[in-house]
Amino acid sequence: MSSQLGFFAVSVPPPTGRIVRPQVVAKNDEVAICSDEEAMARHLEATGNYRILRKLQPRRIVGRPRPEFRRHGVILDTETTGLNYRFDEIIEIGAIAFTFNDAGAIGDVTGVYGGLQQPTIPIPPDITRLRIYAENSPFDMKDHLKARGYRWSDGSDGRPKSWWIELPEEKLEEELHFLRTEIYRWDADPPVKYLTALDRFWVA
């Protein structure tokens, strides 16, 4: 793990009594919307019809933490080949060091560590999974995909720009049948990527 993975989510305060509405101005016979994205998000939330997800920003790692946060903590995350401590092995460790105060408020991130280890035993098949990408699926089928557990990838992380789902290998044929009969309505061959635990939890 080489990023903070959103451990320090900053809560978004509820909208105040005064609703800031996005400004609409005319420019060169075109309509331009004010670039204040947070104001637009709060306006949508205030209607009661929307819930807005905000991208979490990693905190900067500091060399000199603020003195008012004098306590130190570490968040430790591990991935293993299984749950039996006698036989299974750790294959990944991630850690975030941070400071906090007596009230429990998070202060600064002081260090991040991520490491992988090749296990001496094969990774069990039950933790080997695969990803199916429903590329070029019809737009009007998006609600059906969401209801089945598919998530959207915008392509910014190197994955295909499409809906995708992660499944156990034994569910592959069942899922392909669903896509071909319910979504594409033809004998499509969507991309399938086989994953191991190392692949799934690796952060570039």
pLDDT digits (tens, 9 = 90+) for 29-68: 444 444 588 889 889 999 999 888 888 788 899 999 999 9
Structural domain that includes position 185: 125-195
Q: Residue 158 pLDDT more than 60?
A: yes
φ and ψ at residue 42, rounded to 5 degrees: -65, -35
User: Sheet containing 162-168: which strands, arranged edge to edge?
Assistant: 151-153, 162-168, 129-134, 192-195
What is the mean pLDDT of the segment spanning 77-92? 86
Query: Do the domain assignments include residue 137?
Result: yes
The top-scoring range by mean pLDDT among 4-8, 26-30, 178-182 is 178-182
Phi first, then psi: give them for residue 97, nearest 5 degrees.
-95, 140
pLDDT band at 199 (very low <50, low <70, confident <90, very high): low
- Distance between CA atoms of 193 and 134, rounded to whole angstroms? 12
Q: Are 76 and 107 in the same domain?
A: yes
Alpha carbon distance 127, 144 (integer Å): 27
- 108 & 137 share domain: no
Residue 160 lies in a domain: yes
Q: Please calculate the CA angle 7-11-12 and round it to the nearest 5 degrees.
A: 140
63, part of any domain: no
CA 150 to chain CA centroid, nearest Å: 13
Count up the domains in the chain and report the number.
3
Question: Is residue 98 domain-resident?
Answer: yes
Residues 140 and 190 in one domain: yes
Q: Is residue 39 part of a domain?
A: yes
CA distance 3 to 204: 9
- In a domain? residue 111: yes
